[in-house]
Amino acid sequence: MFASPAVRRLLIWLLQGVGLAAVVIGLRIKNPWVFLSFLLLVVATVVGARRLVDAKAGPGALEALFASHPVHARTALVTTLIAFPFIFAVGFGSSYWIYVATLAGIYVCLALGLNIVVGLAGLLDLGYVAFYAIGAYTSALVSIHFDAWWALWLWVPCAMLVAGGLGVALGFPTLRLRGDYLAIVTLGFGEIIRIILNNWDSVTNGPKGLADIPSPRIFDYALADGIAAIPWWGKEINFYLVTVAYALLIAVVAGRLDRSRVGRAWRAIREDELAARAMGIDTTRVKLLAFAIGASFAGVAGLLFAHMQTFIDPMSFIFMESAIILCMVVLGGMGSIPGVVLGAIILAALPEKLRDFQDYRMLVFGLALVAMMVLRPQGLLPAVREGRRAEPSPAGG
């Protein structure tokens, strides 16, 4: 359908530009009912366009369009992400949605980590928020006790190593557990971490939390200072750009892992652990690796959250956070990296937009999730199962 490479490249940029325009227009709508009508119109347009394209060009035409020019697709995506905060800061003089977008980026990091554990390895983890909390507290404590520009290089490895180490500590005694039993144990682990943070006053300051967490610095420049020469460039843009950079890096790493031998081993364990063990897969090592990598991603997200908020307390890491992150993975499509990213963005931004409904916000939010699970239980962008068609034998068998 899109024969010319130049036309395909132009369509890639055009589609991403239209998507950015739709997001900006939707976020600027004040009336909640008008916003819902606009949202339904966008969904109907996307579904209708997809069916029209698929009907004329075969299944997966839109995916093939982006796959045909991956460099242009990725460049357009990065350009769109970078342009987003400047549109609101320069065009509208508002930083609220930049802050929400930064929070959505943090949830993207969390959802990508949980997708490795739940979506790829098939290990139901209901205590995932514990690693998020460990990353936040580790980074905050290191930055408070080593308030120097070089401490920036300690925050990330410390948060990743401590969270990843606890991921292995959780995974090792639970290797024989599956399904509901694993979910109960991980849920208990998350609550244990929260109780420790709440009662270890000498280290975590207990329920009062940690305040005045220093901003990341590069020599004498702190991200919280913005750029004095540019009035509209505040700390929100700095934290947004840093969060987007981390989220893109984690997405690239998760994608490479998904396509590697380790990723195939995770999927084999998810489908049938006994068969995977019979095929020679070291299930113990592969499971522990899934717990460690997923936990380290959550540690990075906790780092970003702590330094953006400059205050953390144990109530920021309750069980509902784990449930929301799990909803992001399920809504987007378990095992699908683009789907998980989309699910995280939607579930992070939509409740903020639905605040205009006040008392009906959670009701509308819950109904939307139920409708989504009924109409598309495999997720918004389900993972594509790799497989080869059996070629007919010369004899026709």
394 part of a folded domain: no
Statement to judge: residues 195 and 319 lie in one domain:
yes
Average pLDDT of span 36-55: 75
**Least confident range of 57-66, 99-108, 202-211:** 57-66
Provide the domain limits for residue 55: 1-83
For 129-148, what is the mean pLDDT? 86
Predicted pLDDT at 2: 54
Using the CB atoms, write b or e for 94-132: b if 16+ within 10 Å: ebebbbbbbbbbbbbbbbbbbbbbbbbbbbbbbbbbbbb
Long-range contacts of 76-80 (CB under 8 A, 24+ apart): 76/12, 76/13, 76/16, 76/17, 77/16, 78/248, 79/16, 80/16, 80/17, 80/19, 80/20
The torsion of the CA quartet 127, 121, 297, 313, rounded to 10 degrees, works out to: -10
Tokens 């990353």 sit at which residue? Answer: 135
DSSP string, 348-367: HHHHHHGGGGGGGHHHHHHH
190 and 148, same structural domain?
yes
Whether 144 contacts 205, CB under 8 Å: no
Residue 393 pLDDT level (bands cut at 50, 70, 90): very low
Q: Residue 51: its pLDDT value, please? A: 67
Structure tokens at 2: 């899109």
Coil, strand or helix: which one is 105? helix
What average pLDDT does the structure give for the chain?
A: 82
Cα angle 149-154-159, degrees, rounded to a multiple of 5: 135
* Range 81-85 average pLDDT: 88
Q: Which two tokens stand for residue 196?
A: 């420790």
pLDDT band at 226 (very low <50, low <70, confident <90, very high): confident
Query: Tokens 């901003």, residue?
Result: 215
- 48-57, 181-190, 322-331 — which is least confidently predicted? 48-57
Statement: residue 100 has pLDDT above 50? yes
Q: Is residue 282 part of a domain?
A: yes
The last residue of one of the domains, among 24, 57, 83, is 83
Region 312-333 average pLDDT: 88
The CATH number covering residue 369 comes to 1.10.3470
Does any domain span residue 344? yes
State the Cα–Cα distance between residues 126 and 261, nearest whole angstrom. Answer: 26
Kindly indicate the confidence band of residue 396, based on its pLDDT and cuts at 50, 70 and 90: very low
**Where does residue 64 rank: exposed (0-12), middle (13-18), buried (19+ CB within 10 A)?**
middle
Give φ, ψ of 211 to 5 degrees: -115, 165
Confirm whether pTM is higher than 0.85. Answer: yes
Same domain, 130 and 228: yes
Average pLDDT over residues 120-125: 86
Domain count, the chain: 2
User: What mean pLDDT is predicted for residues 274-288?
Assistant: 87
Contact 232, 87 (CB under 8 A): no
C-alpha count within 13 angstroms, C-beta hemisphere, residue 251: 20
- Mean pLDDT over 169-190 rounds to 82
Same domain, 235 and 316: yes
Q: Which of 122-126, 284-288, 339-343, 379-383 has the lowest mean pLDDT?
A: 379-383
As a whole number of angstroms, the distance between CA 306 and CA 224 comes to 13
